[in-house]
């Protein structure tokens, strides 16, 4: 390390505590190629893993991802950091489980707002379809196959990322 620069963070604190408890001294060297470690095309390891395998370093302390390939070449400890994203919700012991418990993450006002937006959007789509001449196969018959129910189904498909299969069949029908 160059003079005047100091490393800090969880890994450095962990190494310091380990050295105190186990009674060893250490020197910190930054990895030469700034990589964690992977096998290159010639079958050699680079990064921290490569330095440990070659004996350039006795130990590497970093938030490395534990992989089966890396474990075949070096000994790795149990991970001290997880990179997954998770949600933690308080489990209310007083509340009993019910069939509508999936609604509990949002407030009643939020659900009412979602319902109003759903109904307004469906109505707007239906009105635009009703006004548009492209939605009427025979304008003089006063009958359209695109109903208010279809517009709500279209929005439901969009909200659940399922697509709009009814609309696609209607487009195919109009073109034939």
Provide the whole-model pTM.
Answer: 0.43
Residues of the chain with pLDDT > 70, as a percent, come to: 72
Cα gap 92→124, rounded to integer Å: 40
15-56 residue pLDDT tens:
889 889 989 888 888 888 888 888 989 989 998 888 888 888
Residues making up the chain, counted from first to last: 176
Q: Please give the pLDDT value at position 169.
A: 45
Q: Extract the tokens encoding 172.
A: 């195919």
Cα gap 165→157, rounded to integer Å: 8
Name, of 3-12, 21-30, 107-116, 123-132, the range with top average pLDDT: 107-116
Selection from 108, 98, 80 nearest residue 18 by Cα: 80
Q: At what angle do helices 148-159 and 165-175 cross, to 10 degrees?
A: 130
Q: Please give the pLDDT value at position 3.
A: 45
Beta bridge mates, 39: 45
69-106 residue pLDDT tens:
888 888 888 777 665 555 554 455 445 566 777 777 78
Q: Extract the tokens encoding 35.
A: 């990589």
């Amino acid at each position: 390390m160059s003079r005047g620069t100091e490393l800090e963070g969880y890994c450095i604190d962990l190494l310091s505590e380990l050295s105190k408890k186990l009674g060893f001294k250490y020197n910190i060297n930054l990895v030469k190629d700034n990589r964690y470690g992977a096998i290159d095309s010639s079958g050699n390891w680079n990064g921290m893993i490569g330095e440990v395998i070659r004996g350039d370093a006795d130990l590497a302390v970093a938030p490395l991802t534990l992989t089966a390939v890396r474990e075949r070449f070096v000994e790795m400890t149990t991970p001290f950091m997880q990179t997954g994203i998770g949600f933690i919700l308080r489990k209310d012991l007083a509340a009993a489980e019910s069939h509508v418990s999936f609604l509990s993450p949002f407030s009643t006002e939020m659900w009412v707002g979602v319902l109003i937006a759903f109904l307004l959007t469906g109505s707007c789509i239906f009105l635009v379809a009703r006004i548009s001449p492209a939605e009427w196969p025979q304008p003089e018959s006063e009958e359209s196959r695109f109903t208010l129910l279809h517009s709500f189904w279209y929005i439901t498909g969009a909200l659940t990322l399922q697509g709009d299969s009814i609309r696609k069949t209607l487009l195919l029908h109009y073109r034939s």
